[in-house]
Amino acid sequence: PRSTLFPYTTLFRSDVVVNTPADVDIHFNNLLGGNIGVANTGSGKVNATYNYWGCFFGPNSNKCSSVSGPGVTFVPFSPIPLL
C-alpha cells in the first residue's frame, strides 16, 4: 500500500521522518528547515518529488534541506517555493 503525507504544506525547522515498510509519497511541500528535509529510517521507498527544499539547487545542496536514508527519490524537485 501507498501512503501520502503532507500535501501542500510548508514545514519550518521540521523534518519528515518515515519509518515504515510501506511506500510513502510526500509531494508539493516547502521543506524550509535547512536541515534534514526527509529521512527514511524504514525499509519502504519514499517518493519525495515535486517539493521545494529551501533553495534553487535542490536537496543536499549548500543551505538546502537534505535527504537521509535509503530509497528516497527527490528528482524532479521544485527550484522555487510552492504557493
Taking phi over 0 as left and psi of -120 to 50 as alpha, with beta for the rest, 50 belongs to: left
Q: Is the pLDDT of residue 14 over 70?
A: no
So what's the pLDDT on residue 16?
A: 84
**Res. 11 pLDDT band, cuts 50 70 90:** low
Q: Is the pLDDT of residue 56 over 60?
A: yes
Task: Give the chain's mean pLDDT.
Answer: 84
So what's the pLDDT on residue 10?
A: 55
User: Could you tell me the pTM of the whole model?
Assistant: 0.83
Tell me which DSSP letter residue 78 carries: B
Integer CA distances (angstroms), 15 to 1, 5, 23, 24, 47, in order: 23, 12, 18, 15, 15
